[in-house]
Amino acid sequence: MSDDARRGPERDDRSNPLEDLIGKLVEGIGDLGSGGFGGPFGDDRGRDDGPPTSRRAGTRTPVLDRFGRDLTAAARVGRLDPVVGREREVAAVLEILGRRTKNNPVLVGDPGVGKTAIVEGIAARIAAGTVPGPTGRRVVALDLAGLVAGTKYRGEFEERLRRLVDEVTATDRGVVLFLDELHTVVGAGAGVEGTMDAADILKPALARGELQVVGATTLEEYRRHVESDPALERRFAPITVDEPSVDQTVAILDGLRTRYEEHHGVRLPEDTRRAAVELTARHVRDRFLPDKAIDALDTAAARVRLRRAEDPGASATVTVADVAQVVADRTGVPVAHLTDSERTRLLGLAEHLRRRVVGQDHALEAVTDAVLAGRAGMGQPGRPVASFLFAGPTGVGKTELARALAEALHGSDERLVRLDLGEFREAHTVSRLTGAPPGYVGHDRPGELTEALRRTPSCVVLLDEIEKAHPDVLALLLGVLDAGRLTDGRGRTVSFADAVVIMTSNLGSSALAEDRDPDAAREAVLTALARALRPEFLGRVDEVVLFTPLSADDRRAVVELFLDGTRERLAAQDVGLTVTPAAVDALVVRGHDPALGARPMRRVVTREVDRALSRRIVAGALRPGGHATVDAPDPEGPLTIEVGLRPT
């Protein structure tokens, strides 16, 4: 290097001498090259980047042994789990490895379907000597991250990888490299302009067949990184790895049973293993078999192991209930076996709903029957637990029933996903439900409906005023009602299989408001719905439920329901409340509006009871331990409120 190059740019005369000294020292260290400091083209052998156990004495492949894990050696000592099934994929891999050129298979499949296990199975077959080929053949998993780590200078990574390729090719097909996450070789090591990435270095040896590589990656990553480089793609032969079926996954768990029983010190019966597969296949929608079934079984075994550590007398058998509880904790779906208390609660579901919704017995029975069928496992797999279209006049309890159902099933109104479809009148608003597609503004934001279901798959979905939505929104909902799934703007599938879908509409409410025969009224409502909604949409709804106007007795029960809420709020302040029958009758009369249903009654109770009591609480007239009595001496006059002490 010339003196001008070493001096670099002109510096101010007042520069710090210490900084100049440090700069020259760093430049001098870089020039030592082969002096043992690992310069740009120096030898790595003078450094100790890894533990001594990573290199074997006298080996012909020191770099490979340093940055790879010998799967064949691990199989010989029994460190790999047994591989069950996958004969088609294993045969395809061995067939491609036996080719003269372009003999590099790549396993393409969803995460967790067993791509790495297939390679481990091939390593086990080689270790057992059941695969034709050179004696002493090895399958080595390459640690690409370790290969890149510590390469500080330009050309250092290329030199390290070139030596590794030379070592492998010198074995004359005695080594098969396994590259998990194959797409990471594209761009690996190309940190600055002018450097080559790992893919460019591997291409010549791959094309000649001197270097054999088995890759594994997902379909999305393969398309994005490998297919975008045609020169790299033609050197690989893709093999699709599908998700195994339920029976195939059960066979896989049967093969792994001994390993997990020995690890946890528990017993894994056959019915428990099958339950792990069936429950995860049905309820864990964002992962794939066999990975999710193995995880559920492993977690359940770990729980039993911890339970026995606290209580040595506890059973060492992992039961179906243990696995079901793991799945329930993972998804929020109540899939555990029905306990006596839960049976009682479900059988009393209609009565629980009736305490919040007045006068709609037919609707309550229809909803209860559908929920019980789904909870008993009699629902149609894949579809929502139930889908309803609530039709009727405003203010008769359609939305309140959805809230009550969410509270009854999940213990909180927060498990209600509510969307007002009146906000989705335009075509461009459809993307708000699923998220904007790639290339559109807002692609980084999730969809309102899909994200809510991804976070809480077991919930009640309420779609208010379905008739006001744009036709594209209704077309989007066809997949929800029929197949129980929806794909968001990022290509991820969201399942509605554990959700209750409720849609509301006011169409045909005038026919229900009139004193018609129930069958004639229903026919009029269905005719109005058919004019506004597409036949294929109505045909996918499980049941159209009609809500009738409130009768006189219903209106009185609604007022009592609102007053119960007032009593609960006062009880929290240690204040009692009595409302006389005359006052209730007055509130019913003043709040009655046939066109608006129960909503005017809520306003009347709020205005004439709640606010009057609030003024007395703020003034100090109504204190903890007190009692208020609401009466209506004159049905046409104002209500009176007497304040005193709570009667003993």
- Are 427 and 581 in contact, with CB atoms under 8 Å apart? no
Q: Identify the pLDDT of residue 8.
A: 44
93's CB contacts (< 8 A; 6+ apart) are 105, 107, 118, 119, 122, 214, 239
The rounded distance, in Å, linking the Cα atoms of 301 and 304 is 5
pLDDT tens digits, one per residue of 306-320:
998 888 888 889 998
Facing residues of 390 across strands? Answer: 504, 545
Q: Mean pLDDT across the stretch 398-410?
A: 85
Q: Identify the pLDDT of residue 222.
A: 87
Q: Mean pLDDT across the stretch 328-347?
A: 68
Angle 632-634-636 (CA atoms, 0-180°, nearest 5)? 105
Confidence of residue 291 (pLDDT cuts 50, 70, 90): very high
Q: Identify the pLDDT of residue 54.
A: 40
Q: Is the pLDDT of residue 571 over 50?
A: yes
Least confident of 72-76, 189-193, 474-478, 641-645: 189-193
Q: How is residue 423 written in tokens?
A: 């906000």
Facing residues of 389 across strands? Answer: 503, 544
- Are 52 and 43 in contact, with CB atoms under 8 Å apart? no
Q: Identify the pLDDT of residue 305.
A: 93
- Are 595 and 550 in contact, with CB atoms under 8 Å apart? no
- Are 442 and 478 in contact, with CB atoms under 8 Å apart? no
- Are 417 and 458 in contact, with CB atoms under 8 Å apart? no
- Are 176 and 138 in contact, with CB atoms under 8 Å apart? yes
Q: Is the pLDDT of residue 85 over 50?
A: yes
Q: Mean pLDDT across the stretch 81-100?
A: 87
Query: Higher model confidence: residue 277 or residue 42?
Result: 277
| Coil/strand/helix, residue 164 | helix
Cis link prior to 290 (omega < 30° from 0)?
yes
Burial of 151 (0-12, 13-18, 19+ CB in 10 A): buried
Q: Mean pLDDT across the stretch 573-581?
A: 89
CATH number of 246-337: 1.10.8.60
Confidence of residue 80 (pLDDT cuts 50, 70, 90): confident
Q: Mean pLDDT across the stretch 419-443?
A: 83
Facing residues of 149 across strands? Answer: none
Q: Is the pLDDT of residue 139 over 80?
A: yes
Q: Mean pLDDT across the stretch 189-207?
A: 67
Q: Identify the pLDDT of residue 253.
A: 93
| Coil/strand/helix, residue 305 | helix
Q: How many CB atoms lie within 10 A of CB 252?
A: 25
Nearest one of 424, 418, 535, 504 to 469, comparing CA atoms: 424
Q: How is residue 349 written in tokens?
A: 């579901």
Q: Which CATH number fits domain 552-645: 2.30.30.280, 2.60.40.2300, 2.40.420.20, 1.10.8.60?
A: 1.10.8.60
Q: How many CB atoms lie within 10 A of CB 61?
A: 22
Q: Is the pLDDT of residue 349 over 60?
A: yes
The rounded distance, in Å, linking the Cα atoms of 294 and 292 is 5
**Residue 270: alpha-carbon gap to chain centroid:** 28
Q: Print the SS3 string covering 413-457.
A: HHHEEEEEHHHCCCHHHHHHHHCCCCCCCCCCCCCHHHHHHHHCC
Helix (H) or strand (E) holding 170: helix 156-170
- Domain coordinates of the chain in residue numbers? 48-241, 246-337, 361-546, 552-645
Confidence of residue 277 (pLDDT cuts 50, 70, 90): very high
Q: Mean pLDDT across the stretch 475-497?
A: 85
The rounded distance, in Å, linking the Cα atoms of 500 and 443 is 28
β-pairing, 386-391 vs 500-505, is parallel
321's CB contacts (< 8 A; 6+ apart) are 336, 337
Least confident of 80-94, 194-208, 452-466, 565-579: 194-208
Confidence of residue 32 (pLDDT cuts 50, 70, 90): very low
| Coil/strand/helix, residue 416 | strand
- Are 392 and 401 in contact, with CB atoms under 8 Å apart? no
Q: How many CB atoms lie within 10 A of CB 303?
A: 18
- Equal fold, 48-241 vs 361-546: yes
Q: How is residue 520 written in tokens?
A: 């004639």
Distance between terminal CA atoms of the chain?
102
Q: What is the dihedral of CA 214, 216, 217, 219, to 10 degrees?
A: 80
Confidence of residue 39 (pLDDT cuts 50, 70, 90): very low
Instruction: Name the CATH architecture for the domain at 48-241.
Output: 3-Layer(aba) Sandwich (3.40)
Least confident of 182-186, 195-199, 409-413: 195-199
Query: Higher model confidence: residue 59 or residue 467?
Result: 467
The rounded distance, in Å, linking the Cα atoms of 60 and 50 is 18
Least confident of 295-309, 326-340, 480-494: 326-340
Q: Is the pLDDT of residue 340 over 60?
A: no
Q: Identify the pLDDT of residue 636.
A: 80
| DSSP letter assigned to residue 317 | B
Highest mean pLDDT among 84-98, 288-302, 313-327 belongs to: 288-302
The rounded distance, in Å, linking the Cα atoms of 216 and 70 is 17
Highest mean pLDDT among 33-37, 246-250, 495-499 belongs to: 246-250
- Are 105 and 96 in contact, with CB atoms under 8 Å apart? yes
Q: Identify the pLDDT of residue 276.
A: 92
Give percent of the chain above pLDDT 70.
85
The rounded distance, in Å, linking the Cα atoms of 274 and 320 is 9
- DSSP sequence for 334-359: --SPPPHHHHHHHHTHHHHHHTTS-S
Q: Identify the pLDDT of residue 643.
A: 83
No. of helices (H) and no. of strands (E), the chain = 29, 16
Q: Identify the pLDDT of residue 52.
A: 36
Nearest one of 128, 135, 129 to 75, comparing CA atoms: 128
502's CB contacts (< 8 A; 6+ apart) are 387, 388, 390, 401, 402, 405, 460, 461, 462, 463
424's CB contacts (< 8 A; 6+ apart) are 430, 432, 433, 468, 469, 470, 473
Nearest one of 520, 503, 500, 501 to 512, comparing CA atoms: 520
Q: Identify the pLDDT of residue 59.
A: 63
pLDDT tens digits, one per residue of 585-604:
888 888 888 778 788 888 98
Q: Mean pLDDT across the stretch 352-376?
A: 83
Q: Is the pLDDT of residue 18 over 80?
A: no
Q: How many CB atoms lie within 10 A of CB 166?
A: 14
Looking at every residue in the chain, the average pLDDT score rounds to: 80
Q: Mean pLDDT across the stretch 147-158?
A: 76
524's CB contacts (< 8 A; 6+ apart) are 508, 511, 516
Confidence of residue 514 (pLDDT cuts 50, 70, 90): low
Q: Mean pLDDT across the stretch 53-71?
A: 70
Q: Return the CATH fold of 361-546.
A: Rossmann fold (3.40.50)
Query: Higher model confidence: residue 372 or residue 107?
Result: 107
